[in-house]
A = this chain, B = another copy of it.
Amino acid sequence: MKRLLVVLAALSLISANAQTDSAQIRTLANEILQNSQTYENLRVLTKTIGGRLAGSEQMYQAEEWGFKALRSAGGDQVWKQSCLVPHWVRGGIDEASVILKTGKRPLDVVALGNSIGAGKEGVTADVVLVNSFDELEAKKDQVKGKIVFYNYAFNNSMVRTFEAYSDANKYRAQGPSRAAKYGAVGVIVRSLSHSTDNHPHTGSTRYDSAYAKIPAVAIGLKDADWLAQHLVSNKTTVSLKTYGYFLPDVMGHNIIGELKGTEFPEEIITVGGHLDSWDNCEGAHDDGAGCVQTIEILRAFKAIGYKPKRTIRFVLFANEENGLRGGNKYAEEAKAKGEKHIFALESDAGGFTPRAFGFTISDAQFEKVSSWRSLIAPYGCSEFVKGGGGADIGPLNRTFQTPVAGLQPDSQRYFDYHHARNDTFEAVNKRELELGAVNMAALILLVDKYGL
């Protein structure tokens, strides 16, 4: 009987907790949906600063903006954590054109991030099309002195578009060096997208130091289709002009706001996005969205008077796009100071309607967070899945085995905008952006209240 009473008491406690949690999350959601500053913050970041690649003047402007925004949102402390970041510059306006008897046919291209320029005269050479690395190997004797065109298509049948991105990403990352290995002098990569427009999508490439560094561009999808079709029956010469180079590393910063925990201040929860973006766009979905959501969670906690038990850090990470120095620095310093990081959450998949959280976490921890699913599902994240996190919080996970999670918004539109000139403020919907913040805030609240 006594045992039954204990069980009943425990059950009623759980039920009472669930009611309190549910009401608290509703309050938080109302605060964000009715008084949010996410959209206005995003407008300022994207429209008054714009693209903000590591090392650029805009990086410093964005740091100042982020510092002020976290302060005005109500951080107990806000500081800048210094870290050296690479300083790649595009150096000019990337161009490519097909040389025809009748004149030139321009192609819409953008140099890949971290790629080397094509020199004063540019590179002019015949094009060899390959649809895959297997085809490259089969044609390896034909590519010397040529421009290799990787025309590997984004796989439309993959419903989760990040799978299509992972699948195609190797051509952007490894394509230049694998072509250089056989003597190619330049590379054109089909943009990693399934959009209906012709905007080219940049992103980092990685040279293998064993081979020559050759210029490399991404090409818009319509031009890629045109070029592939043209190549069927024409020997095709393309002229490439790119100007990329590296300047010495400069000092950049992670921008960190903190709410000190009232009961377990030594237990740290991190939530963040990355402040840098590519230079050819406004970086609205990638990752202005994650930054303004992070700031909003802090603002909303303060606005509803929530006093966290644990210490919560709101972090705008530096240099995710072409170096990950911010994320690495954050984990290094945490290790050096012996900090205890119990959880980290990142939003870096666009400001779209939230659908899921993906967790890299132990089975027991996954069971615990899954018990909260019904509290969060009404706001969008009705699925809690294993696997996921974020580039910037990866180092925390690798250093401390810190449980990490990533917000997984609807992914259908992300690669229409990702790293392309149309990743602008106008491409973000206010409600979708805000709901992302609501779901993240709810998860952080529950981890704060109950630990992991």
Q: A43 — nearest CB in chain B belongs to which residue? A: B196
Q: Is the CB of B435 within 8 A of A159?
A: yes
B435 near A416: Cβ-Cβ < 8 Å:
no
B412–A159 CB distance below 8 A: no
Do A412 and B429 touch across chains, with their CB atoms under 8 A apart? yes
A368: CB under 8 A from chain B?
Answer: no
Q: Is A34 at the interface (CB under 8 A from chain B)?
A: yes
User: Contact: B380 with A33, CB < 8 Å?
Assistant: no
Starting from the known contacts A33-B157, A196-B430, 11 additional A-B residue pairs (CB-CB under 8 Å) come to A33-B159, A34-B156, A159-B378, A159-B435, A194-B431, A353-B353, A353-B410, A412-B431, A412-B432, A413-B429, A413-B431
Residue pair B412, A156 in contact (C-beta under 8 Å) = no
Interface flag for A29 (CB, 8 Å): yes
Q: Would you give the shortest CB distance from A75 to chain B, in whole angstroms?
A: 26
Chain B residues in 8 Å Cβ range of A430 = 196
Chain B residues with CB under 8 A of A88: none
Question: Can you sample 14 A-B contacts with CB below 8 Å?
Answer: A29-B157, A30-B157, A33-B156, A33-B159, A156-B431, A159-B378, A159-B380, A194-B431, A196-B430, A382-B383, A412-B429, A413-B431, A413-B432, A416-B429
Q: How far is the CA of A355 from the CA of B432 in the complex (A)?
A: 14
Name which of A39, A156, A380, A383 has the most chain B CB atoms within 10 A of its CB.
A156
Residues of B within 8 A of A159 (CB): 29, 33, 378-380, 435
Contact partners of A33 in chain B: CB under 8 A: 156-157, 159
User: For the complex, what is the distance from the CA of A416 to the CA of B39, rounded to whole Å?
Assistant: 15
Q: How far is the CA of A279 from the CA of B34 in the complex (A)?
A: 32
Q: How far is the CB of A342 from chain B (nearest CB, A)?
A: 29
Copies of this protein chain in the complex: 2
CA–CA, A435 and B159, complex, Å:
8
Q: How far is the CA of A413 from the CA of B352 in the complex (A)?
A: 10
Of B29, B30, B410, the residue contacting A410 (CB under 8 A) is B410
Least CB distance, A27 to chain B, in whole angstroms? 10
A39–B196 contact, CB under 8 A? yes
Whole-angstrom distance between the alpha carbons of A157 and B26 in the complex?
9
Segment 390-441 of A: residues with Cβ below 8 Å from B: 410, 412-413, 416, 429-432, 435
CB-defined interface of A9-46 with B at 8 Å, one 1/0 digit per residue? 00000000000000000000110011000010000000
In chain A between 336 and 373, which residues have their CB closer than 8 angstroms to a CB of chain B? Answer: 353, 355
- In the bound complex, CA of A380 to CA of B158 (Å): 12
Contacts of A161 in B (CB 8 A): 431
Contact with B along A271-305 (1 / 0, CB 8 A): 00000000000000000000000000000000000
Flag A374-390 by CB within 8 Å of B: 1 or 0 each.
00001110110000000
How long is the Cα–Cα vector from A360 to B417 in the complex, in angstroms?
Answer: 38
Q: How far is the CB of A356 from chain B (nearest CB, A)?
A: 9
Closest to A355 in B: B355
CA distance A355 to B194 in the complex (A): 21
| A353 / chain B contacts, CB cutoff of 8 Å | 353, 410, 412
Chain B residue numbers with a CB within 8 Å of A431 are 156, 161, 194, 412-413
A410 to B431, CA, bound (A): 11
Residues in chain B near residue A34, CB distance under 8 A: 156-157
Q: Considering the complex, give the chain B residue whose CB is closest to the CB of A416.
A: B429
Q: Which 4 A-B pairs have the closest CB atoms?
A: A412-B431, A30-B157, A33-B156, A353-B410
Give Cα A410 to B410, complex, Å: 9
